[in-house]
Chain A
Amino acid sequence: MIDIDNLELSITDPESGTVKPVLKGISLSIQRGEAVGLVGESGSGKSMTLRCILGIEPRNSTVSGDIVFDGENLRALPAERMRRLRADKIALISQNPHAALNPVLPIETYLLEGMADAHRRNAQATRARAADMLEQVGIRSVDRVLKAFPHQLSGGMLQRVVIAGAISGKPGLLLADEPTTALDVTTQAEVAAILDEKRRDLGMSMIFVTHDLDLAAAVSDRLAVMRHGEIVEIGTPEQIRDSPQHPYTRMLMSIRPTLSGTPAGGTAYDGGSTAVGIPTGGGTAVARVSAAGNSASSVAAETQIGSTL
């Protein structure tokens, strides 16, 4: 499906001219229908990896390496071909939906402009499909939501809209960049569950970026742990959980909140990184796992959140 080979990225500061390496040789292969969780603290290069796949890395950055998607090298595609791939084959769900949607256009425009180009059907059919997509992600008052502007909807509602837009073209690859981090705790589980369910139904591949190890484990077939622009360990969630090989992974596992709500170990990792990089919502991580893992109803998820707090 997608093969990332020795991807490197560095950013040049325009004023001082200093070059800062951000990605130091990322290699990662993802099979059709497979979900990979990309885990690490902020600044480890997770999001930047996704941006390289889409070709939207920041200005002043230098990229090398190959990203082969369905037989095409994304890093060497002509602009228009790359745009078609973004429109049809690769969809992004970003962290903050309120920033991702144009604030002065209604939801309807957001959905339709994403679909019109992908399918070129008549307007009425496209609109019906947009309404259908919203229903599929669990939105009931579809007409009201279609007419609403982004600021009138909650973060959770808006993230569902984004998911609806992302899966409407049945893309082969879903890139989720901390899709639940900006949401409030009660809706995080619901959104993660919907995303997971739709992905499995449609058989899409996914790269799920998060700093939340448990959430990643729940929605992914494999986990890749990133640190300082490198992938330090790849394995199934079970492998990572039961026998982490790299010291950094062990550290991540040890500071993970447990059911009792206190870090299990708390031993400092001596790799020179900043002290602790995994903020999680206390015991809620467990709730997310169960909710996302088998698409349990939000009521169940909330119940569990209540019991662990």
Chain B
Amino acid sequence: MRFLARRLSALVGVLLASSMIVFGALYLAPGSPEQFLVQGRTVSPEVLAAIRSQYSLDDPLPIRYWKWLSGLFTSDLGRSLLTQQDVGALIASRIPTTLSLAAFAAVLIIAFGVGLGILAGTRGGFAERIVIFASNLGIAVPTFFAALVLMSVLSVGLGWFPVFGAGDGVVDRIWHLTLPALALSLPAIAVVARITRTAIVDESESEHVLIAVARGLPKRIILWRHTVRNSLLPVSTAVGMQIAGLIAGAFVVEYAFTLDGIGALLVNSVQRKDFAVVQAIALIMVVAFGVVNLLVDLLYAIIDPRVRLEKGRS
């Protein structure tokens, strides 16, 4: 429990500091805050006044930060500088697409990344070489390029999958999200497969596995209970980090497949210089990134008795 409390307070501290960066970024920009927020657009005096009040530009800096932060906790993320839409509502309408994309990709990473890694690590020979080669290549392929190749071959070429859109209903959505999720998870699958294979090979050379052989345990038990199971402990951390990384990868893929997720919204908002939306999404992503990383650490502490019991004692 103390471990959890310590990790939680560290996360809160880091998130507070990050929120200051996201908040303060506005004042790093060249020119005055109003100029930056308006970005040369011609706006009516009322809109300018609304922007000034949204950012509390008449208050001193600490109070501005405080108002902004307390606004966040009451899910008041301000209004879009372009369309005057409520940012919270705008983002909320986009989140389901991003979440289903990330969840889909996470399933692919676990299934194929770990699966191929186990295949390569336990079979050896040809399967191993293929997986090593493919993972070396996969790591070098940028997600957006993978997206375009998949789109070009499977959608445009063969017509098996839709080119864009997120789909309605569960089946249609899965069908629409297959290629984006594949593109998004490809580099992560490559990394996870490689780490899994290395972990299995290392583990199979460890002394306790050698001793298990010397004790005449059945091959199946040595392989699964002692080699694969143990090697998956470090792999779980790697998988978690890759899943956290999906948050950043998602906007490239969403943009490539013109999906209406928050990633694409972020990119569009940067392009259109709608800083209120950019700030809100950046903050949400940082929080999500931190929470996923925390969950990964907790998961590791739960599944590894060495960590679990140490923490239990202290």
Chain A residues packing against B (C-beta within 8 Å): 54, 56, 83-88, 91-92, 94, 96, 99-106, 113-114, 117, 149, 151-152, 165
Q: How far is the CA of A83 from the CA of B226 in the complex (A)?
A: 16
- What is the distance, in angstroms, from A92's C-beta to the closest C-beta of chain B? 5
Q: How far is the CA of A88 from the CA of B214 in the complex (A)?
A: 11
Q: Which one of B206, B215, B221 contacts A86 once the chains associate, using CB atoms below 8 Å?
A: B215
B103 at the interface (CB under 8 A from A): no
> Known contacts being A86-B215, A100-B211, is A151 close to B225, with CB within 8 Å?
no
Residues from 215 to 255 in B contacting A, C-beta threshold 8 Å: 215-219, 221, 225-226, 229-230, 233
Question: Could you say which of B210, B214, B233, B306 has the most chain A C-beta atoms within 10 Å of its C-beta?
Answer: B214
B305 at the interface (CB under 8 A from A): yes
Question: Could you say which of A94, A102, A114 has the most chain B C-beta atoms within 10 Å of its C-beta?
Answer: A102
Q: How far is the CA of A17 from the CA of B207 in the complex (A)?
A: 25
B208 at the interface (CB under 8 A from A): yes
List of 9 A-B pairs having minimum Cβ-Cβ separation, nearest first: A87-B216, A86-B216, A99-B207, A100-B211, A92-B214, A149-B305, A83-B216, A102-B208, A54-B214
Q: How far is the CA of A87 from the CA of B215 in the complex (A)?
A: 5
- What is the distance, in angstroms, from B228's C-beta to the closest C-beta of chain A? 12
Q: How far is the CA of A114 from the CA of B208 in the complex (A)?
A: 13
The residue on A at minimum CB distance from B230 is A104
Chain B residues packing against A (C-beta within 8 Å): 206-208, 210-219, 221, 225-226, 229-230, 233, 304-306, 309
> Known contacts being A104-B233, A151-B306, is A96 close to B216, with CB within 8 Å?
no
For chain A, what secondary structure do more than half of its interface residues adopt (helix, strand, loop), or is it mixed?
helix
Q: Which residues of A contact B305 (CB under 8 A)?
A: 103-104, 106, 149, 151
> Known contacts being A101-B208, A104-B305, is A113 close to B221, with CB within 8 Å?
yes
Question: Could you say which of B226, B305, B306 has the most chain A C-beta atoms within 10 Å of its C-beta?
Answer: B305
What are 29 inter-chain pairs, A to B, with CB distance below 8 A? A54-B214, A56-B210, A56-B213, A86-B215, A87-B217, A88-B216, A94-B207, A100-B207, A100-B208, A100-B211, A101-B208, A102-B208, A102-B225, A103-B208, A103-B230, A103-B305, A103-B306, A104-B229, A104-B304, A104-B305, A105-B225, A106-B305, A113-B217, A113-B221, A113-B225, A117-B217, A117-B218, A149-B305, A151-B306
Q: How far is the CA of A114 from the CA of B213 in the complex (A)?
A: 11
> Known contacts being A102-B208, A104-B230, is A92 close to B215, with CB within 8 Å?
yes
- What is the distance, in angstroms, from B232's C-beta to the closest C-beta of chain A? 10
The residue on B at minimum CB distance from A96 is B207
Please give 5 more A-B residue pairs, beta carbons under 8 A apart, in addition to A100-B207, A105-B225, A149-B306. Answer: A86-B216, A92-B214, A92-B215, A101-B208, A102-B225
Q: How far is the CA of A99 from the CA of B206 in the complex (A)?
A: 8
Q: How far is the CA of A92 from the CA of B207 in the complex (A)?
A: 13
Q: How far is the CA of A165 from the CA of B217 in the complex (A)?
A: 13
> Are B211 and A94 closer than 8 Å at their CB atoms?
yes
> Are B218 and A83 closer than 8 Å at their CB atoms?
yes
Q: Which residues of B contact A117 (CB under 8 A)?
A: 216-218
Q: How far is the CA of A173 from the CA of B207 in the complex (A)?
A: 21
Q: Which residues of A contact B233 (CB under 8 A)?
A: 104
Q: Which residues of B contact A94 (CB under 8 A)?
A: 207, 211, 214
> Are B211 and A92 closer than 8 Å at their CB atoms?
yes
Q: How far is the CA of A114 from the CA of B221 in the complex (A)?
A: 11
Q: Which residues of A contact B216 (CB under 8 A)?
A: 83-88, 117
Q: How far is the CA of A56 from the CA of B213 in the complex (A)?
A: 8
> Are B208 and A56 closer than 8 Å at their CB atoms?
no
> Are A56 and B214 closer than 8 Å at their CB atoms?
yes
Q: How far is the CA of A300 from the CA of B216 in the complex (A)?
A: 37
Q: Which residues of A contact B230 (CB under 8 A)?
A: 102-104
Question: Could you say which of A85, A88, A113 has the most chain B C-beta atoms within 10 Å of its C-beta?
Answer: A113
Q: Which residues of A contact B214 (CB under 8 A)?
A: 54, 56, 86, 92, 94
Q: How far is the CA of A105 from the CA of B217 in the complex (A)?
A: 15
Q: Which residues of B contact A100 (CB under 8 A)?
A: 207-208, 211
Q: Which residues of B contact A106 (CB under 8 A)?
A: 305
Q: How far is the CA of A294 from the CA of B100 in the complex (A)?
A: 71
Q: How far is the CA of A51 from the CA of B213 in the complex (A)?
A: 11
Q: How far is the CA of A91 from the CA of B215 in the complex (A)?
A: 7
- What is the distance, in angstroms, from A149's C-beta to the closest C-beta of chain B? 5
Q: How far is the CA of A152 from the CA of B306 in the complex (A)?
A: 9
Q: Which residues of B contact A101 (CB under 8 A)?
A: 208, 211
Q: How far is the CA of A213 from the CA of B127 in the complex (A)?
A: 50
> Are B306 and A102 closer than 8 Å at their CB atoms?
no
Q: How far is the CA of A91 from the CA of B216 in the complex (A)?
A: 9
The residue on A at minimum CB distance from B308 is A149
> Are A102 and B218 closer than 8 Å at their CB atoms?
no
